[in-house]
């Protein structure tokens, strides 16, 4: 199976917030890469601040990606592409994680 296109980048903002940005699609073909990146970024946080997971440039994610987000629910906030909001709500993730649609600031 060929891996779906996914680019991941981790940055630290001036205020110390760690941001993991994903661009592309999250599915079973690249979930190990996403899991590794989110786990490393959670470890890099300062003083227990939330890791911001930026999914504003992700137009598809499957249940494997949602499960990874649930596994890190106590450590993350999510900014999501508005197209993902319904699946994140139906999954129940919005009940345990702060999820904002991109562009809602």
**Cα separation, 17 vs 56, whole angstroms:** 17
**Cα separation, 84 vs 96, whole angstroms:** 16
39 and 68 Cβ atoms separated by less than 8 Å? no
Helix (H) / strand (E) containing 55: strand 51-61
pLDDT of residue 3: 65
pLDDT of residue 1: 55
63 and 88 Cβ atoms separated by less than 8 Å? no
Fold of the domain built from segment(s) 6-101: Transcription Regulator spoIIAA (3.30.750)
pLDDT of residue 96: 97
Distance from first CA to last CA of the chain, Å, rounded?
38
Q: What residues in the chain have per-residue pLDDT under 70?
A: 1-3, 105
pLDDT of residue 105: 64
Dig out the tokens for 4 from the structure. 């779906």
- CA separation (Å) from 71 to 40, 65, 93, 104? 13, 10, 10, 25
pLDDT of residue 76: 96
Q: Where are the domains positioned within the chain?
A: 6-101
pLDDT of residue 4: 79
The neighbour count for residue 28, using CB atoms within 10 Å, is 13
């Amino acid at each position: 199976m060929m891996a779906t296109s996914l680019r991941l980048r981790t940055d630290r903002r001036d205020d110390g917030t760690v941001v993991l940005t994903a661009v592309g699609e999250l599915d079973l073909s690249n979930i190990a890469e996403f899991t590794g990146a989110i786990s490393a970024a959670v470890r890099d946080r300062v003083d227990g601040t939330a890791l911001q997971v930026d999914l504003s440039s992700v137009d598809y994610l499957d249940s494997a990606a949602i499960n990874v987000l649930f596994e890190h629910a106590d450590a993350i906030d999510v900014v999501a592409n508005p197209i993902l909001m319904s699946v994140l709500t139906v999954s129940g993730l919005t009940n345990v994680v702060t999820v904002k649609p991109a562009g809602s600031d």
